[in-house]
Amino acid sequence: MESRNIKESPFRNIDWFTVVIYLLLVIAGAISIYAASYDFDNSSIFDFNEFSGKQIRWVFVSLAVGFILLLIDARMYETYAYPIYVAMVFILVVTIFIAPDIKGSRSWIVLGPISIQPAEFAKFATSLALAKLFSGYNFSLNARGGNYVRALAIIFIPIMLILAQRETGSALAYLALFFVLYREGMSGLILLAAAFAVVIFVVTVKFSETVTMGITTGEFSVFVLIMITMVSMLMVYCRNIMATRNVLVWFVGTGVIATILYWCGVAIPGYWYFGVVIGVASIYCIIELIKTHSKKILITFSTVALSVIFLFSVNYVFNNVLENHQQMRIKVTLGLEQDLRKAGYNVNQSKIAIGSGGFAGKGFLKGTQTKLKYVPEQHTDFIFCTIGEEEGFIGTTTVMLLFILLTLRVISLAERQPSAFGRVYAYCVASIFIFHFCINIGMVIGLCPVIGIPLPFFSYGGSSLLGFTLLLFILLRIDAARRGQSRNF
Amino acid sequence: MRKDYNLEKRKYVIGGFLILIAIIYVVRLYELQIADNRYKEYADINAFLNKTQYPSRGLIYDRNGKLIVYNQPAYDVMMIPRDVKELDTLDFCHTLNLTPDQLRKRLSDMKDKRMNPGYSSYTPQRLISHLSAEDYGRLQEKLYRYPGFFIQKRILRQYAHKTAANVLGNIREVSSNDISRDPYYQSGDYCGDLGVEKSYEQYLRGEKGVEILIRDAHGRIKGRYDNGSKDVAPVSGRNLKLSLDLDLQQYAESLMVNKIGAVVAIEPSTGEILALVSSPTYDPTLLVGRQRGANYAALVNDHEKPLFDRALMGAYPPGSTFKPGQGLILLQENIVNLSTAYPCHHGFISGGLRVGCHSHGSPINLKPALQTSCNAYFCWGFKALVDKRSKYGNPAKAFEVWKNHLVSLGYGYRLGVDLPSEGRGFIPNAKFYNKIYGEGRWSANTIISVSIGQGEILATPLQIANLCATIANRGWFITPHVVKEIEDTVMPSELLEKRIPTIEAHHFNDVAEGMRMAVTGGTCRLANLPDIEVCGKTGTAQNPHGRDHSAFIGFAPYHDPKIAVCVYVENAGFGATFGVPIGSLVIEKYLTGSISPQRKYLEQRMLESNTKIYSGVKKH
């Protein structure tokens, strides 16, 4: 009987800590939007014609939706995970065709006075589907290759569809789900490889304008980095002392010879030099591989080979795949371009806004940067500026602290879930929060390229607020049901 | 329920990643918000447009309240380079009557950090100054088409009377030196140059105000910051009331036309300068507005040096005008008394030395000596003082005593007039002669010419006039000054204090009497006005340039002096030829307001004569 009671009254088991942080963020968000869109002759925070008024309406909608979500039986989410996902995918497809072109993007469905962005709602659907996949009996990511394919398919279908809507930022957010795969058994090497790829990319692009040994300094540095990686992997990962010694001697020896020749005025072309040096080392690895059949040597060899291939594709990708404005944003972040009028304008003005806030900020509604519209998109993607300008360092760190608390809380909720479904879903939520947090604040303070994604609960926009509310409250409902479930088992 | 505890540890990796990123962000935020102060400035530059409100400069009146200098609005074209977008250069040039080349030149000058050290593309810069009313009207109508440009109202000085340029001075644009010396100034501001415009700059300029406007990202003005509560209203400059008597100044200037020299008239009881003429003078309106630069250069290059204020800076041998001072020192030092007589047989003859004199009775005592301007008397007196070893020990010590008396009478150092660049003249000291002749190797005879205001002695007309005022006052003077009142301000006390020389007051009566005798029956008879008791002393100063300088000091009335005058006309001959007529006309004009009919011929002669022609000075 008791378990029935619990099922019927999820509010007794709800994680109030999360709810409180949620409410704090949402209220702070609405106030920030009011501040960001405040004008001199502007009136009330509740004025429905203004962003803040609209946002407050969306806050109430979100609270109502959250309340309704808590009333739905937790098992419904698991049961209907795939149908919801399929429906969402269908909507995403439809969106591509029926959405009007708004600033080059076709991601908004206009329903009379309101527009919604299905990409924001697809997040919870994708998370549910991924959780459902992992909750299969004895499902293990590494058990069969097919499992990877299914998991990746669930992630990449919405990514492709959202890219087709030309919403690159939103699409990239789904990549955060790789954290979930990692938690569920994917090799950490893949994350490391991704990190290494980012490093290669950054170094190649950042130092692409100076020349060392006939190749760009970026390429030169990456070659050296690859050599260091190769030696380190042989030593730490393969623990093959002989191979480490041989390769190291080879690298250092040829390096010394090349340097001496350089001093003597003989410049060896960079590609030739690194081609020969790394090529010979790789052939040596293959010989070792044939002798030992060591999987680790194979991985080392693959890393080197893929890195070299990646290096050569960076320039191609950068110049041919990325669009002009994306190239500029990356260059601005890497400090290669100033262009304070165009590509660098947002970030520069947003840095000025945040920087001018000082320790305690200029005071509520006293920010000049944001009031006078120096920061574009200040009520949406750049909302963090308003906080930085008006509430200062205290405000920015407090908001960040709230996000970290929320995310860590979600991770701890995840780990206390009795079922794989609940855990995977919770990790999906945490991952998406982490991604939004890192990218949004990173771009506002000039550490990441500008990628147009909102700051959860803060940025103006009903779809975004409602999307994140759905994401979080479904988790709260699943979490609230966990005790009842565990007793039922 | 299966649970892989190995995998559960991965929550630390994910959580740790989040915390690592957060730490990086906090460091970055610390750097942006706390460590680096530049962003605050950038934000202010973005948001606030500080529009300077220029105060109106103080007006200048004469002692009777007649307006001399006032303001007229002028219009400068200002631009904020950063805000200028897509300027239609040709149309702009057409509106302002400029050629594109002129505009380009102006723009590059403006951006030249050497010529315009305050250049910044964020702050208003002056593109063109003093727009004509016509150009202003045309530009005003089209201004909306040129974002980033605006019109700044300025003031130009206007002169109701083209007189007293040396006293008034003028205003000029501040130089980079001015800006670095006084943070009040910004590029394009004006400050006083020469005259009271310079010396009373602090009072005349007022205080600039500022209107703080709020500007949005598109450069649109969104209103006044904090409803204007942080604005500062400009404070108008204080008006000055000069001690100059405009009519007297103009009259004295007219008498000095075609003569080189100076006239200084002082009200003895107050030290107020009634007229301060330096001739040749110039038209103060030349140094106004756009033509200032060219006109200023022409004045600088004029070989007669009109910008050189002879009344304040000219260092002249005082000649016989020195004798009253000499008499005072001799009396004070008890070298002579009123009955002491010295012989004069057409000069002073001593030890093979001869200083010529003209014919008059001999022997002669002090008052007649002043009356007749006897050289011999003052040579003997000086010799008696310097060579009186029984009292002073040696000539050097005696000479120092003599010199100190002169300094107390206002010679040898700047008097402290309230005008810039006053000269100090020259009074040698014993050390000076020691250097020339060797210690103990000189005596009165060696330097006898200083006793009659020649030789090394140099004084400015102002100093000479001040000594005359001191005699008029019978023993004290107030630092001469040209400003009588500063609106709403107390005059600096040093311009009001009595200064008392080291000569006892009763000696002045005797000297004054001698000067009265010079007018009634001596060298200054031309100054003998029918109704006014004038006292005077001529001076005829030898000089190496040409004819003698003609000088005169005088005050009147004898018993209640209202005016003390010094006239100094370069290379014009005897003191009685130009000095006395001009000086007496100035006195008469000031005291009676007109010239009596029987003296009209004198006035006519002075107005028409030209001393430059017969000066004997070689033209350079």
Q: Are residues B189 and B323 in the same domain?
A: no
Interval A52-63 mean pLDDT: 88
Confidence of residue A48 (pLDDT cuts 50, 70, 90): low
Residue A177 pLDDT more than 80? yes
Q: Which amino acid is at B464?
A: I
- In terms of CA atoms, which chain A residue is nearest residue B41? A356
- Residues in B closer than 8 angstroms to A357, CB to CB, are 33
Same domain, B458 and B598: yes
- Token pair listed for A310: 């990646």
- Considering the domain architecture, whether residues B202 and B350 belong to the same structural domain is answered as no
A39 pLDDT band, cuts 50/70/90, is: low
Identify the pLDDT of residue A387.
92
Are residues B556 and B448 part of one domain? yes
What is the spatial distance between Cα A276 and Cα A251, in angstroms, rounded to a whole number? 11
Average model confidence (pLDDT) for chain B? 87
Q: Which site among B5, B9, B39, B46 would you substitute to test the A interface, given the most A Cβ atoms closer than 10 Å to its Cβ?
A: B39
For residue B37, tell me if it sits in a domain: no
Closest approach of chain B CAs to the CA of A273, in angstroms?
Answer: 38
Q: Among B193, B215, B242, where does a domain finish?
A: B242
Examine the pLDDT at A6 and tell me if it is beyond 60. Answer: no
Residue A186: pLDDT over 70: yes
What's the pLDDT at A159? Answer: 94
Of residues A351, A372, A393, nearest to B47 (C-beta): A372
Q: Are residues B230 and B256 in the same domain?
A: no
pLDDT of residue B1: 41
* Whether residue B260 sits in one domain with residue B231: no
CA dist B476 and B295 (Å) reads 42
How far CA A35 is from CA of A39, A379, A471, B392, B572, in Å, comes to 9, 9, 27, 90, 83
Kindly state whether residue B620 falls inside one of the protein's structural domains.
no
pLDDT of residue A106: 84
Cβ contact, residue pair A447, B24, below 8 Å: yes
Cα dist from B418 to B167, B201, B302, B493, B501, whole Å: 10, 12, 26, 12, 20
H-type alpha helices, A416-461: 420-444
Provide Rg for chain A, Cα atoms. Answer: 26
Distance CA B406, CA B560 (A): 25
Q: Which domain holds residue B388?
A: 246-283+305-608
Contact A368 B44 (CB under 8 A): yes
Q: A376-390, B105-119, B252-266, B358-372: lowest mean pLDDT where?
A: B105-119
Range with the largest mean pLDDT of A90-94, A358-362, B138-142: A90-94
**Chain B residues within 8 A (CB-CB) of chain A?**
1, 4, 7-8, 10-11, 13-15, 17-19, 21-22, 24-26, 28-30, 32-34, 36, 38-40, 42-44, 46-48, 214-218, 222-223
Chain B residues lying within 8 Å of A430, measured CB to CB: 14
- The pLDDT tens digits of the residues spanning B83-119 come to 787 778 888 888 888 888 888 888 888 887 777 766 7
Q: Average pLDDT in the A54-59 region?
A: 88
A353–B contact, CB cutoff 8 A = yes
Predicted confidence (pLDDT) at residue B383 exceeds the cutoff of 50:
yes
Are B181 and B261 in a shared domain? Answer: no
> B48–A414: do the CB atoms touch at under 8 Å?
no
Q: With 50 as the cut, is the pLDDT of residue B312 above it?
A: yes
- Asked if residue B36 belongs to a domain, the reply is no
Tens-place pLDDT, residues A95-130: 998 888 877 788 888 887 788 899 999 999 999 999
If pLDDT is split at 50, 70 and 90, which confidence band does A252 have? very high
Mean of pLDDT values over B161-165: 90
For chain A, domain boundaries: 14-72+342-465, 87-187, 210-331
Whether B137 maps to a domain, the answer reads: yes
pLDDT value for B550: 92
Q: Is A165 on the interface with B (CB under 8 A)?
A: no
Q: Answer yes or no: do B217 and A372 touch at CB < 8 A.
A: yes
Q: Any idea what the CATH number is for the domain that residue B230 is in?
A: 3.90.1310.10
User: Are B226 and B312 in a shared domain?
Assistant: no
pLDDT at A487: 43
Q: Which of B18, B48, B218 to mutate to test the interface with A (most CBs of A within 10 A)?
A: B18
Nearest to B331 by CA among B431, B454, B433, B471: B471
Q: Residues 6 or more apart from A94 whose CB is under 8 A from it?
A: none
Write out pLDDT tens, residues B398-426: 999 999 999 999 999 999 999 998 999 99
Is the pLDDT higher at A40 or at B297?
B297
pLDDT value at residue B278: 93
Residue A364: pLDDT band with limits 50, 70, 90 = confident
Residue B416 lies in a domain: yes
For residue A341, the model assigns a pLDDT of 60
- Evaluate if residue A137 carries a pLDDT over 90: no
Q: Which residues of B536-557 are buried (b: 16+ CB within 10 A; e: fewer)?
A: bbbbbbebeeebbbbbbbbbbb
Question: Mind giving me the DSSP string for B247-291?
Answer: HHHHHHHHHTTT--EEEEEEETTTTEEEEEEEES---GGGGSGGG
Whole-angstrom CA distances from A388 to A27, A377, A391, B30 are 17, 15, 6, 11
Please indicate, yes or no, if residue B42 is contained in any of the structural domains: no
Q: Give yes or no: residues B197 and B342 share one domain.
A: no
What pTM was estimated for this model as a whole? 0.62
pLDDT at A409: 95
What single-letter amino acid sits at A463? Answer: S
Give the residue-averaged pLDDT of A361-377. 79
Question: Which chain A residues touch B13 with a CB distance below 8 Å?
Answer: 182, 188
Share of chain B above pLDDT 90, in %: 44
Q: Cβ separation of A407 and B18 shorter than 8 Å? A: yes
Q: Are residues B539 and B513 in the same domain?
A: yes
CB B590 within 8 A of CB B562: yes
Q: Reply yes or no on whether the pLDDT at A368 is more than 80.
A: no
pLDDT value of residue B288: 85
Residue B117's pLDDT is what?
A: 66
User: In B280-374, which residue ranges form alpha helices assigned H by DSSP?
Assistant: 292-301, 310-313, 323-332, 366-372
Whether B40 sits inside 8 A of A356 (CB atoms) is yes
B99 with B190, same domain: the answer is yes
**Are A71 and A10 a contacting pair, CB within 8 Å?**
yes
Q: Is A40 exposed, middle or buried (0-12, 13-18, 19+ CB in 10 A)?
A: exposed
A160 touches chain B (CB under 8 A): no
Is 50 exceeded by the pLDDT of residue A1? no
Contact B10 A393 (CB under 8 A): no
> Cα distance from A184 to chain B (closest Cα, Å)?
7
Which residues make Cβ contacts (< 8 Å) with residue A83, sequence separation at least 6? none
Q: What is the mean pLDDT of residues B281-287?
A: 90
A128 vs B134 pLDDT, higher one: A128
Q: Pick from A175, A179, A368, A428 the residue to mutate for testing the B interface (most B CBs within 10 Å).
A: A368
**Selected residues 405-444 of chain A with any CB under 8 Å from a CB in chain B:** 407-408, 411, 414-415, 418-419, 427, 430-431, 434, 437-438, 441-442
**Mean pLDDT, to the nearest integer, of B296-313?**
90
**B69: which residues sit within 8 A by CB, 6+ positions away?**
B59, B60, B157, B158, B159, B160, B168
Percent of chain B with pLDDT over 70: 97
Q: State residue B137's pLDDT score.
A: 84
Residues forming beta bridges with residue B316, ordered by sequence position: B459
Q: What is the secondary structure of A297-338 as a DSSP string? A: HHHHHHHHHHHHHHHHHHHHIIIIIS-HHHHHHHHHHTTS--
Q: Is residue B498 part of a domain?
A: yes
ipTM: 0.90
Asked if residue B550 and residue B451 are part of one domain, the reply reads: yes
Mean pLDDT throughout A178-194? 88
Q: Residues A420-438: pLDDT tens digits? A: 999 999 999 999 999 999 9
* Mean local confidence (pLDDT), B484-498: 88
Query: What was the pLDDT predicted at B561?
Result: 94
CATH number of the domain that residue B529 is part of:
3.40.710.10
- The CA distance from B299 to B469, in Å, is 32
- At residue A151, the pLDDT reads 92
Give how many domains chain B has, as a whole number.
2
Mean pLDDT of B153-165: 87
Distance CA B266, CA B268 (A): 6
Strands B125-131 and B67-79 turn out to be antiparallel
Residue B2 forms part of a structural domain: no
Identify the pLDDT of residue B198.
Answer: 92
